Structure 1
């Protein structure tokens, strides 16, 4: 498991003045990822941030990949702070980053360990 520290994300979201375009773009990326996981996981790898994809090791996105076993459900809420976002569904928490080519998932299959640290099945470094 990898860890993500969520920290003061909700507070930062209130203070950042993020536009609704930022939120909708991040939400669309999270929804695409969840849909790709539901379709078997392979297409979801294209939506991972490079570091998260590299963290899959030799298994990569092939058979037996942790991406294929991720929980999936429609995104219910999203919080954006600057170029970072957290998307939650009933079965998963995703973390995303806004790269020059768009939003990518940096952590998936994340479960809270306490109020600030998440353990993620994919990514999360």
Structure 2
């Protein structure tokens, strides 16, 4: 009987942990690199950190004009769910996706519209 109870408790613990977000220094570092390069005005480097879909969505004007509208506050945290992440600064939220070659920004300059929807300057969520 004790073995069954122990197994049930262990299974419940695993289910609760799997659904939770974890901190990710890699995702946070990628978000900070984007914010830093955007603030420095190095558009080529900052735009290279965008996910292809976010970069393509900027249209013919390209990436550089959009970078001027992204807040440049330091990233203070990042939470990861599998290959998706959310990074937060004091000024905005960034969304990331992990590609084979590393984390890329899928949304930047994002502010919550409600509990589940964000309006983003670049990309979206």
Q: TM-score, normalised by structure 2?
A: 0.79
For these two proteins, the number of residue pairs brought into alignment is 109
Task: Give the unaligned 5+ runs of structure 2.
Answer: 1-15
The structure in which a higher percent of residues are helix is 2
2:37 aligned residue: 36
2:104 aligned residue: 104
The structure in which a higher percent of residues are strand is 1
Q: Cα–Cα, structure 1 residues 14 and 45, in superposed 2: closer, same or farther, change >3 Å? A: farther
1:68 Cα offset (Å): 2.2
Query: Radius of gyration: which is bigger?
Result: 2
Q: Distance in 2 between matches of 1:24 and 1:117?
A: 25
- State which of 38, 46, 49 in structure 2 corresponds to 1:47: 49
Q: Runs of 4 or more off by more than 2 Å in structure 1?
A: 13-20
SS in 2 for 1:105: strand
Q: Distance in 2 between matches of 1:14 and 1:68?
A: 39
Task: Give the unaligned 5+ runs of structure 1.
Answer: 1-12
1:56 aligned residue: 58
